[in-house]
Amino acid sequence: MNGEFIRNTWYVAAWDYELIDNRILARTILEKPVVLFRGESGQYVAMDDRCCHRGAPLSMGRVEGDCIRCMYHGMKFDASGKCIQIPGQERIPPKLGVRSYPVVERNRLIWIWMGDPELADPDMIIDYEPLGDPGWRGIPCYLHYDANWVLIVDNLADFGHLAFVHTNTLGGSEEYAYKTRPVSVERLDNGFRVERWHMNSDPPPFHRKVIRDKSAKVDRRNIGHMQLPGIFFLETLFAPAGSGAEKGNMENTREYRNCQYMTPETRRTTHFF
């Protein structure tokens, strides 16, 4: 897939735990090598992973305060990417520096804006409430996919594959791919929402772990929210069969939430958070 990247939008660049203890992270985003770090003040910084002097990777450098020093010839850059020190040289060319990128931390996720910085509005970031809700316990993870991000979006929006690919976890019996109430599809301003019920079904193995009667039938609901360019939220609910969960009775229901973020690394590879 050789289409143009969407640049004027927010992408997840890292989890906060990837930048603790003065760690410097090298990560390619939209085919652009980027260096990320957390400064001494707590400020998150992102800039091109290439010193403007001899092209050495800044990710092999050293964090000093909220700055980073290239460990080839010692040039030091502040959080804006401006060169502020050249060892052995008093005069610093006023335009000498590397490109920096707007970054924002929200609920443990580090977001980056790869497009026009004048358009980078943090209010455009889509918050996912369970990530910041102490009532939910989240497990952060990172995967690297050898696939274009659009293929991953297609996979996540396709509930029909669960019965076959995820038989031993979320899918359960193969009838889930066929026997279902009508699917509700809603088009959103920047994506879509799909809701699907599966009534009086055997609980899949993953659900069976948290119910007392392992042989009892359940009513299942999956809601998928796809927010372009690459954000997917999944809400899963299951309740005793016939308990009226589809009418709003939440007694004895079990729920879990899943948020997935896809950031293109290249046209053939994807960062998956």
Domain identity same for 218 and 115: no
Domain identity same for 170 and 248: yes
CA angle centred on 19, ends 16 and 25, rounded to 5°:
125
Domain identity same for 167 and 217: yes
Which of 72, 90, 125 is where one domain is finished?
A: 125
Domain identity same for 97 and 174: no
Domain identity same for 227 and 187: yes
* pLDDT tens column, 14-57: 999 999 999 999 999 999 999 999 999 999 999 999 999 999 99
* pLDDT tens column, 88-127: 999 999 999 999 999 999 999 999 999 999 999 999 999 8
Domain identity same for 200 and 171: yes
Domain identity same for 193 and 223: yes
| pLDDT band at residue 269 under the 50/70/90 scheme | very high
Cα 102 from Cα 115, distance rounded (Å): 9
Residue 130 placed within a domain: no
**Domain range enclosing 63:** 10-125
Domain identity same for 179 and 254: yes
CATH number of the domain enclosing 236: 3.90.380.10
Which amino acid type is present at position 60?
M
Total number of domains in the chain: 2
Q: What is the 8-class DSSP label of residue 129?
A: H
Residue 235 placed within a domain: yes
Residue 5 placed within a domain: no
Indicate whether 70 pLDDT > 90: yes
How confident is the model at residue 1, as a pLDDT? 60
Domain identity same for 58 and 102: yes
How confident is the model at residue 3, as a pLDDT? 72
Give pTM, 2 decimals.
0.90
How confident is the model at residue 206, as a pLDDT? 80
> Could you give the percent of the chain with pLDDT greater than 70?
96
How buried is 230 (Cβ within 10 angstroms: 0-12 exposed, 13-18 middle, 19+ buried)? buried
